[in-house]
Amino acid sequence: MNTSRVLSCALVIICACLLYNCQSTVVEKPFENGHWVDLSYAYDENTIYWPTADGFELDTAFEGETDGGYYYSAYNVKTAEHGGTHLDAPIHFAEGAQSSDQLRMDQLTGEAVVIDVSAAAEGNVDYLVSIKDFEAWEATHGRLADDIIILIKTGHGKYWPDAAKYLGTTEKGAGAVPKLHFPGLDPQAATWLVENRKIKAIGLDTPSIDYGQSSDFMSHRILFKVNIPAFENVANLDQLPATGAYVVALPMKIKGGSGGPLRIAAFVKN
């Protein structure tokens, strides 16, 4: 190979390297051209819990300037599993079903729809979300897709954190449970979902999947028997569209837990 040909090859290689190095790295951004909606209530002294559960406590372990001259803070937290925005794991009402730590990540993330029954629930604090509510949604938006997360907007979230209106009573203890009033999912609708649709999880803007006056918690039992988890006390559902939101619902990973505090958010495209 003559000298000129060697130089030409070398020049081609150098140019190729320069072009490669000049190319900017393309970083995929799955969550752009949209915004996040926080669907969780903060935990504080006003957080609403089931009447038989202890409330939230935040104790200061240390707060202030250290001997080293810098600021430092640390706290101890005490909370029941089922209070505030939280997860109900299937084991909560189904022996041998999945606990909080056993739920797959894909069960807790994915495309979501919002079933808005707020107009029907207005003025009926004991409203039961029915099969007809789901059929009416499908008549407008099409059949519920497989592996969807369902969020039910009853409109009850507008009362948070007023326990008297949100729970139906401010009393504590077992004697307060029969006085609870808030909307929930009709067990017949829970059965319809299990038998006719394939969903990942279900959530709503009330303290429980079952309505306040339930004594057998049948909707819990129907859903949890087939390992469909529930999200309760979900916030800001009025900020989500009927379709197109992507939900991330990550609970505290408690080994063997029947539930736990939940940070849930939804990404909505612009």
Q: What is the spatial distance between Cα 40 and Cα 263, in angstroms, rounded to a whole number?
A: 6
CB 97 within 8 A of CB 227: yes
Q: Is 141 helix (H, G, I), strand (E, B) or coil?
A: helix
Local confidence pLDDT in tens for the 270 residues of the chain: 565 565 555 555 655 555 555 555 666 677 888 999 999 999 999 999 999 999 999 999 999 999 999 999 999 999 999 999 999 999 999 999 999 999 999 999 999 999 999 999 998 999 999 999 999 999 999 999 999 999 999 999 999 999 999 999 999 999 999 999 999 999 999 999 999 999 999 999 999 999 999 999 999 999 999 999 999 999 999 999 999 999 999 999 999 999 999 999 999 998
Query: Both tokens of residue 195?
Result: 């038998």
pTM for this entry: 0.89
Q: What is the spatial distance between Cα 36 and Cα 122, in angstroms, rounded to a whole number?
A: 28
Q: Kindly report the CA angle at 160 between 35 and 116, in degrees rounded to 5?
A: 60
Pick from 232, 233, 221, 258: which is nearest to 80 by CA? Answer: 258
Element (H, E) at 223: helix 218-225
Q: Is 196 helix (H, G, I), strand (E, B) or coil?
A: helix
Is the preceding peptide bond at 161 cis, omega within 30 degrees of 0?
Answer: yes
Treating both helix axes as pointing N-terminal to C-terminal, what angle do 131-141 and 187-196 enclose, rounded to 10 degrees? 50
CATH class of this structure's domain 34-43+81-269: alpha beta
